[in-house]
Amino acid sequence: MIKIEFDNVVKSLAGKVDSPRLEGRIIMGYVLKKDDNEIIPKTYTLTIEQHKQLESIIKQRSQGCPLDKIIGEKDFYKYRFKVSQDVLSPRPDTETLVEAAGKLIFKNNLKKVLDLGTGSGCILLSLLADFPSLFGVGVDISNKALTIAKENAQRLGVEQRCCFKELSWDDEKFADKLGEEFDMIVSNPPYIPREDIKGLDTGVKDYDPFGALDGGEDGYDHYRLIAKKVPQILSKEGYLLLECGINQAEDVKNIFEKQGLNWQKTLRDLGGVERCIILKK
Ligand code: GLN
């Protein structure tokens, strides 16, 4: 048994992470299998195994590995998701899209949502958890990501109302393979211009899957591919909600307008960035 002062855990994170006390509580909670709110500034007694785990987590964290990738969980919107290095970590920026989608689903009584590039499933599954009569399909090119998404569907108890398909929107038969239309399509596709990726934070460029970030040379490759497919899979009057990166909203809007979609609104995230574009068929 090893005695550990909580304050020393906090000190070992200080200067290395933005919120050492908060993260210290999450880490201690994880190691001791307690709710992080129960962790208080006192001396804890750890087994040798727990102590090794604690040291290893602090080391990984100090080297820039994001906390959620270490402990395998991330809170997003109203729910907790399993994550791994096979999926993009859910970001608060994406909650803008989820909230906007929820308002439209409620107002228009929408029934069927498609999530393109579902990753952990955080967008689709948040919507299914909020709306008990909604059905959804999540598409991803990564089978490993879909395994995580399916697990998250079970955790949230919505697995009866969704299915997941390993498909590429670059596939000529994409629409046929999906085999149905949707009254809402949502997507947070990879949108970082390839050259910019090496300039991102370690926590992003080294731990999020490259394929979930890489938007091709100008960042718009996936929007162009998706735009070609949307008219075949979105039902009449259906809604399309897209996330985009900084200063991309106007270009993304134009790409989709060229395919006959009607722009409705562009929404800013909490950081003031134009983040979510809403279009209608
Ligand atoms: N929002 C992510 C970032 O900037 C990128 C996600 C994406 O390409 N869809 O780190």
- Residue whose CA lies nearest to ligand 1 atom number 5: 213
75-111 burial, b if ≥16 CB within 10 A, otherwise e?
ebbebebbbbebbbbbbebbbbbbebbbebbeeeebe
Residue 1: per-residue pLDDT: 92
Q: What is the pLDDT along the chain (281 residues), one digit of tens a residue?
A: 999 999 999 999 999 998 999 999 999 999 999 999 999 999 999 999 999 999 999 999 999 999 999 999 999 999 999 999 999 999 999 999 999 999 999 999 999 999 999 999 999 999 999 999 999 999 999 999 999 999 999 999 999 999 999 999 999 999 999 999 999 999 999 999 999 999 999 999 999 999 999 999 999 999 999 999 999 999 999 999 999 999 999 999 999 999 999 999 999 999 999 999 999 99
Tokens representing residue 164 in the block: 């997941």
Residue 276: per-residue pLDDT: 98
Instruction: Tell me which of 74, 87, 191, 269 to substitute to probe ligand 1's pocket, judged by most ligand atoms within 8 Å of the beta carbon.
Output: 191
Ligand 1 pocket (Cβ < 6 Å) reads 88, 91, 93, 188-192, 204, 213
Residue 232: per-residue pLDDT: 95
Q: How far is the CA of 50 from the centre of ligand 1 (A)?
A: 34
Tokens representing residue 185 in the block: 């399509």
Return all residues near 83 (Cβ < 8 A) that are at least 6 apart. 68, 69, 72, 73, 74, 89, 90, 120, 148
Residue 226: per-residue pLDDT: 98
| Single-letter code of the amino acid located at 46 | L
Q: Is pTM, for the whole model, over 0.85?
A: yes
The Cβ of residue 5 has, within 10 Å, a number of other Cβ atoms equal to 12
Residue 199: per-residue pLDDT: 97
Instruction: Tell me which of 76, 208, 213, 273 to substitute to probe ligand 1's pocket, judged by most ligand atoms within 8 Å of the beta carbon.
Output: 213
